[in-house]
Amino acid sequence: MDNQENKKTGITGWIDKRLPVFTFINHNLRDYPTPKNLNYFWNFGSLAGITLVIMIVTGILLAMQYTANTDIAFDSVERIMRDVNNGWLLRYIHMNGASMFFIIVYIHIFRGLYYGSYKYPREILWMLGVVILLLMMATAFMGYVLPWGQMSFWGATVITNLFSAFPVIGDYIVTFLWGGFSVDNPTLSRFFVLHYLLPFAIVGVVALHLVALHQFGSNNPTGVDVKSSGDTIPFHPYYTVKDYFGLGVFLIVYAALVFFAPNFLGHPDNYIPANPLQTPAHIVPEWYFLPFYAILRAVPDKLTGVLLMFAAVLVLFLLPWLDKHKVRSATFRPFYKQFYWLFFINAIVLGWVGAMPAEGVYVLIARIASVYYFSFFLIIMPLLSRFEKVGELPSSISAAVLSKKFDKDINESYAK
């Protein structure tokens, strides 16, 4: 392949010899050998990348119109909605883009969790993913503060106050984060600067994520390693087309949200200007934080609640060492599969209960769900690693694909 590259002539050849960008593209996006059995869950990485680009482009355009000052931030957002050409569209794309981004990345993570993509040799790939998730959360949180509505203000107050839970240093941390004695102008300016900065940090970590990915290539639904070139197909045109198709479907959903229900996922209170003298009756974070918020509220002790909430994300870093079962894909792990789906439902329950008032039966549900959340990682995974028996794995990706096709053909001809 390299020989072929060197023979390139013309301008591209001239450039490529000195700066091998075309070789690089060819290597990573054209010839790149990819398992031939990837299903649609493998679309979500490229979707996340495209969404990241959409967020950065719309974000930069918004920043050209937005003013980070407590006196005019809210009005500057309303000006975007009313006076700026297509400003409403720009803002709704960015606002709902954040939600779409989290949906995609959560599916991306659940895909990894199901197919064991975090296991050897993809541990660092996975951990870089968790770093991206943390950066995304910080970015989304600070972005939500910028319009300076009631939810912005009180969300910022509550989340920054989490740090006050730490003994002795807690109050100093909070004052430091605020740059004052309450959430105010200094807080807003620094949040704006960081909200602009962090997405570029995400771009950097995504680049590393892809370097790590291409070191061993993608995992696949069987979890069986690629054994020969017969197990792979070139990325282009097979997966470029598949990614394009997925993108089309994704954009339909995204556009439907933007054009028909742009405020569906938001909270109406954020259209009331921030008022430091009055907290809204029912304050909830954005939906993508709800499961973690539920864990926070499930714990009666302030510090423990805060620590467990952070731990709920950080535990993902340990996954490659908590699940040491030799088999990657849940397809071939009868027990893990069950616990996995229970975990999935449990995560949705946590999200739902996080939006409910913190009282009565909801507290009980939140507690049970929190216990299962951590048990899944800290108890069930290590135990299954030792005791779960599995049947025979397919000898290769090709074997798995062919036997499935064979079964299907047989079934079909019987049916006829």
Partner 1 sequence: MKELNTNTKNKPSPIDEEKRDFLFITTAGLAIAGGGAFAWSMIDTMNPSKDVLALSTTEVDLSPLEEGQSLTVMWRGKPIFIRHRSESEISSADNVSVDDLPHKETDESRVKNPKWLVVVGVCSHLGCVPLGQKVGDSKGEYGGWFCPCHGSHYDTSGRIRKGPAPLNLEIPPYEFVSDDIIRIG
List interacting residues with partner 1 (CB under 8 A): 57-58, 61, 64-65, 79, 82-87, 89-90, 413, 416
Catalytic residue among 71, 182, 214, 403: 214
With binding defined as CB under 6 A, does residue 224 bind ligand HEM? no
Q: Is 242 marked active-site? A: yes
User: Is 416 tagged catalytic?
Assistant: no
234 binds, among partner 1, ligand HEM, none (CB under 5 to 8 A by kind): none
Angle between helix 334-354 and 290-298 (nearest 10) = 80
d(C-alpha 135, C-alpha 126), whole Å: 14
* Cα–Cα nearest to 218, from 4, 397, 7, 1: 397
Binding of residue 133 to ligand HEM (CB under 6 A): yes
* 126 makes contact with ligand HEM (CB under 6 A): yes
CB nearer ligand HEM, residue 140 or residue 202: 202
Q: Are 69 and 186 in contact (CB under 8 A)?
A: no
CB 221 within 8 A of CB 331: yes
269 is catalytic: no
376-405 in b/e form (b: 16+ CB < 10 A) is bbeebbeebeeebeeeebbebbbbbbeeee
Nearest approach, Cβ of residue 415 and ligand HEM (Å): 34
> CB-hemisphere CA count at 13 Å for 27?
15
Binding-site partner at residue 266 among partner 1, ligand HEM, none, CB < 5 to 8 Å by type: none
Q: Between 90 and 309, name the residue whose CB sits nearer to partner 1.
A: 90
Considering the candidates 46, 76, 218, 398, report the single residue annotated as catalytic. Answer: 218
Q: How far is the CB of 88 from partner 1 (least distance, A)?
A: 10
392 is catalytic: no
Burial tier of 285 (Cβ tally within 10 Å: 0-12, 13-18, 19+) = buried
* Contact partner at residue 105 from partner 1, ligand HEM, none, CB < 5 to 8 Å by partner kind: ligand HEM
Q: Does 219 bind ligand HEM (CB under 6 A)?
A: yes
82 binds, among ligand HEM, partner 1, none (CB under 5 to 8 A by kind): partner 1
Q: How far is the CB of 135 from ligand HEM (least distance, A)?
A: 8
Q: Specify whether 286 is catalytic.
A: yes
Task: Give the three-state DSSP class for 273.
Answer: strand
DSSP 394: P
**φ, ψ of residue 259 in degrees (nearest 5):** -90, -30
Choosing among ligand HEM, partner 1, none, which partner's interface includes residue 206 (Cβ < 5 to 8 Å by kind)? Answer: ligand HEM
Nearest approach in angstroms of CB 112 to ligand HEM is: 4
Tokens of 223: 């979890």
Minimum CB distance to ligand HEM, residue 231 (Å): 14
Q: Among partner 1, ligand HEM, none, what does residue 52 contact (CB within 5–8 Å per kind)?
A: ligand HEM
The dihedrals phi and psi of 35, each to the nearest 5 degrees, come to -50, 140
Does 52 contact ligand HEM by CB under 6 A?
Answer: yes
Q: What is the SS3 assignment for 116? A: coil
Q: Which is nearer to ligand HEM, 77 or 130 (CB)?
A: 130
346 forms part of the interface with ligand HEM (CB under 6 A)? no
Please state, as a whole number, how many other Cβ atoms lie within 10 Å of the Cβ of residue 106.
16
* Whole-Å CA distances, 4 to 21, 137, 236: 15, 44, 17
Among all chains, which residue has been given the structure tokens 């071939």?
Answer: 332
Torsion angles phi and psi, residue 264, rounded to 5: -60, -45
Contacting residues toward ligand HEM, per CB under 6 A = 42, 44-46, 48-49, 52, 105, 108-109, 112, 115, 117-118, 122, 125-126, 129-130, 132-133, 202, 206, 209, 213, 218-219, 316
Point out the residues that are catalytic. 214, 218, 242-243, 286
